[in-house]
Amino acid sequence: MTDTTASPVPPSTGLGREIIDIVRTVGVALGIALVLRIIIFQPFTIPSSSMEPGLVTGDYIVVSKLAYGWSRASFPLNPPLFEGRLLGRTARRGDVVVFRLPRDPSQTWIKRVIGLPGDRVQIRGGQVFVNGQPLAQAPIALMQDHDAPDRPVLAIRERAPNGRQYVTYDGGPERPGDDTEVYVVPQGQYFVMGDNRDNSLDSRWPRELGVGLLPAENLVGRAKFVLVSWKPGASILKPWTWANLQFDRLLKPIR
């Protein structure tokens, strides 16, 4: 008579297989997350107040990489894989874009697209002119800067030539950057500005100081929405501050 009873699996063997399964599952999950981060979206934390009032320090936003196609800037560490953009698409006026800083690609900044290739951009008395036409402005109210309550600013609704509307801050007349030369935007580049107009180093300033004219190749993607936002002082290194959320900013679309 043949004994058909299965031999018991040694506990160490069963535990080893379980560990291998866990490692494989975690590896697949991390691989999928990495692919999604490279191809589809990337999270980004707002480190400064240059895009107030639409974006404030502590906002954790989602950036779409599908919007403009892919370049070396789309990948972690900006590897020299290829030149130009794959399936590249032109940014639209008023888009809020995340990009690698031309003078230091290790830094990632965020601004709003004001001028497209071929445009002539000038700022006069704090008002933006594109191809000789002023961007329509409508004052809203005098208020306090979100990150610096002791600083009064005038909130202004601005409208791009394509109808896109957004709110900017004006810190007062005759500030640096309120009056500029005419900038002619070359092909393959953009003119970008921060919404907090008197607290932003952008295309009004030369590359050595601000952004200068932004090469399209440096675009990482378009900012889509605020996922979550932490109050000033919160830090990933301080677990007791993780619950210090700005609840009015959760899942907030970026205009």
Position 18 in a domain: no
Q: What is the pLDDT at residue 102?
A: 97
Residues 6+ apart with CB under 8 A from 191: 113, 114, 115, 119, 121, 183, 185, 203, 213, 214
Q: What is the pLDDT at residue 191?
A: 98
Position 19 in a domain: no
Domain holding 80: CATH number? 2.10.109.10
* Domain that residue 223 falls in: 41-253
| 70: three-class secondary structure by DSSP | strand
Q: What are phi and psi of 210, to 5 degrees?
A: -115, -130
Position 3 in a domain: no
pLDDT in tens, 114-141: 999 999 999 999 999 999 999 999 999 9
CA 161 to chain centre: 22
Position 211 in a domain: yes
Position 34 in a domain: no
Q: What is the pLDDT at residue 79?
A: 84
Those residues of the chain that have pLDDT short of 50 are 1
Q: How many H helices and E strands in the chain?
A: 1, 15
Position 14 in a domain: no
Q: What is the pLDDT at residue 7?
A: 54
Catalytic residue positions, numbered: 50, 111
Number of domains in the chain: 1
Position 172 in a domain: yes
Q: What is the pLDDT at residue 4?
A: 52
Element (H, E) at 168: strand 165-170
Position 203 in a domain: yes
Residues 6+ apart with CB under 8 A from 75: 38, 81
